[in-house]
Amino acid sequence: MNSEKKRWPASVYGRGTDPDARFSLANERTFLAWIRTGLALLAGAAALDALDLPLQDTVQGLLSALLALAGIVVAVTAFGGWMRIERAMREETPLPSNPAMPVVVVALVVVGVVLAVSAVLGGVVA
């Protein structure tokens, strides 16, 4: 029985040749790091929503939703990124970049700026 047919996803494992296992494992560690980042963003969204901060409820809700959305985007793109990189290694083509990075940066900058302004101005945003 051919073990190649059992490997999932076929869109990754059905192409090229197996790369050095060290590179596949490094790609998997990167995937898991992005999953942890997504979980941290979701936890931050839940914490921000639960805290009593000197922000308008609408602003606090929007910031929490932004963090949650960023966490979801990171989780979804982590799997897609793992697939693209694994496929590129199997086909010996250049490694693609990760489209989730700008999403994380923008979300964290927006949330950080609003929270910093609120802290400096003593809740004027409220």
For residue 42 the two structure tokens come to: 């979701």
> Which uninterrupted H or E stretch holds 48?
helix 21-50
pLDDT at 2 over 60: no
Query: Mean pLDDT throughout 65-73?
Result: 94
Residue 18, CA atoms < 13 Å, CB-side half-sphere = 7
Output 6 or 8, whichever has higher pLDDT. 8
Residue 32 phi/psi, 5-degree rounding, is: -65, -35
Q: Which of 8-36 are b and which e, b meaning 16 or more Cβ less than 10 Å from the residue's Cβ?
A: eeeebbeeeeeeeeeebeebeeebeebee
* Other residues' Cβ atoms within 10 Å of the Cβ of residue 97: 11
Distance CA 126, CA 119 (A): 11
Tokens of 108: 């964290």
Does 71 or 103 have the greater pLDDT score? 71
How many other CB atoms sit within 10 Å of the CB of residue 117? 12
Please report where in the chains the tokens 């609408």 appear, as a residue. Answer: 58
**What is the model's pTM?**
0.82
Confidence of residue 101 (pLDDT cuts 50, 70, 90): confident
